[in-house]
Amino acid sequence: MRDKLNLRKLILCLSVFSVLVTLLNTFHSIYRVQHELVVNNTIESNRVYAVKMAEMTDTFIDSALSQLEYSASIISRRMLEPLVLQQEVNRLRTQTDSFNSVVIVNADGVIISVSPETIEVKGVQLTEESALQSLNAKTPLITNPFVSPAGNYLTSMSYPIFSENGDYLGYVAGTIYLDQKNILRTILGQHSYKDGSYLYVVDKHQTLIYHPDPQRIGEVITNNEAIRAVSRGEEGGQAIVNSQSVDMLSGYAPVKHAGWGIIAEKPEELVLSMLDDQMWHMFIESLPISVLIFLIIWVSSIFISKPLWQLASVVKSFESHNSTKQDLNEVKPWYFEASYLKRSFLSTFNIVSSTIDQLHLDTLTDPMTGLLNRRGLGKAIDTLRAQKTPFSVLALDLDYFKKVNDSFGHDVGDDLLVSVASMLKAQAREVDIVCRSGGEEFIVFLVKTDIHQAKLVAERIRKSIALNKFDAVEHVTISIGVSHWSAEDEPISATLKRADDALYQAKHNGRNRTELDLFK
């Protein structure tokens, strides 16, 4: 019966599929790497810019507080001279663009001087809790945003006024109108918005005190991870979904003197649109090469199919002919694929044999520590008995291992067993046999070693484990029982029993010690 698909078609389909998958995987990998790179670079750029703006704002606040401090020192000596007070607030407001208005409030909370004088609040008694922040603080303060008696939404920087005797006289404050043109707009409004990015400022209560959209000033934002982080005084950057449900790449930094936070953001969609354009251009550029590759595959499949068909015939003859080796030899030797597959058949037998050996080894070893298990121990004992090789036995048991499992968990206990097993292998010679007999118990066969030498080895092992600092557990101890088999008539099982008895004696005598069984 004729097959529906011949070898040439199968090779062609497989090759085309492989190339398509490779191309798709390449494009996908490039896109993922470039996506991560572009996003991380944008976040880092925004973070650096936010830090720069925060430093500039801190510098402005330092300067503004210094101006207020100087005015407070002048006012403290002339608090009862209204004309001097008016001149001072006018000077403080007009000498820089730091403040929209300047006021002096006495200790009773009454505004006694204001600039500009067009603000009709002179003589007004402050009663609102928000307006009394500076009066109650009696220290240099940057207030939370509030509505002033004149109806302006503002934040103020104030400096207390004290007499020479230390009496509190009130404070002088410069205000920044958050809903009007102000110094923050001057400092922060220089940010370029052509690429869709923008910058805004929040106070420690997550209230917008500066935003490119003036209508949003005063809005409290509670669902923005960047705002939450910077309100806690953190500096950094991350991809977020803002309060308008737009994916943004944000960098942020705190303004330390004010408790504010500056956030620089850029829509992720704008950042990735350029990457999408680049990937599309790459796809168009790669089309001619891809078509050429497909043509080469089609032509190559024609030449490849004939020798592979010959090899397929040989494989098919396995069921109908006994001379399989002769059939393989009929394939022309210059054909690399056939020769390689022929060698593969031979190597398969070797692999199967090796696998069986490995499976046999796995049955003899403990999977966790890599030491011999009880079955492996039995094989080792049979070998020593057959060769009549004398040896000493060390029966070892970790002290209080149950407490380790109860206190730190079985994972830590397992790690401890692996570490102890490694130390035992390191202390043993190449001819010695180390095995895990169960739980926290180990057995070491010291080949051609008398019991006194074995005790020295046991003590070296015991001390090294006691002095070693293990992860989590730090320090553990081990008890050891020692016995000797001299290739006489005594069963090895009796020697093992005597080592266990010596181990029990070591436990009974206080643990962390070595006991000998001197039976002869």
pLDDT tens-digit series, residues 338-383: 667 666 654 543 454 455 555 566 677 888 888 888 888 888 888 8
pLDDT tier for residue 28 given thresholds of 50, 70 and 90? confident
Report pTM. Answer: 0.51
User: Cα 277 to the chain's mean position, in Å?
Assistant: 31
129 is catalytic: no
Residue 9 has pLDDT above 80, yes or no: no
The tokens describing 196, both together, are 């869709």
Q: Is the peptide bond before 116 cis (omega within 30 degrees of 0)?
A: yes
Mode of pairing for the β-strands spanning 391-398 and 441-447: antiparallel
CB-based burial of residue 430 (10 Å sphere; 0-12 exposed, 13-18 middle, 19+ buried)?
exposed
Quick one: pLDDT at residue 383?
Answer: 86
Query: Is residue 388's pLDDT more than 80?
Result: yes
From 106-120, 160-174, 285-299, 443-457, the region with the lowest mean pLDDT: 285-299
**How high is the pLDDT of residue 336?**
66
Task: Render pLDDT for 177-229 as a digit per residue (tens, 0 to 9).
Answer: 877 777 777 777 665 555 678 888 998 888 888 888 888 888 898 888 999 99
Query: Is 94 or 277 the better-scoring residue by pLDDT?
Result: 94
How far apart are the C-alpha atoms of 347 and 344, rounded to whole Å? 5
Query: Among the options 235, 440, 488, 515, which is catalytic?
Result: 440
The Cα 504–Cα 516 span in angstroms is: 11
Q: Which of 58-67, 320-329, 384-393, 449-458 has the lowest mean pLDDT?
A: 320-329
Question: Phi/psi class of residue 67: alpha, beta or left (left: φ > 0; alpha: ψ in -120 to 50)?
Answer: alpha
The confidence band for 392, taking pLDDT boundaries of 50, 70 and 90, is very high
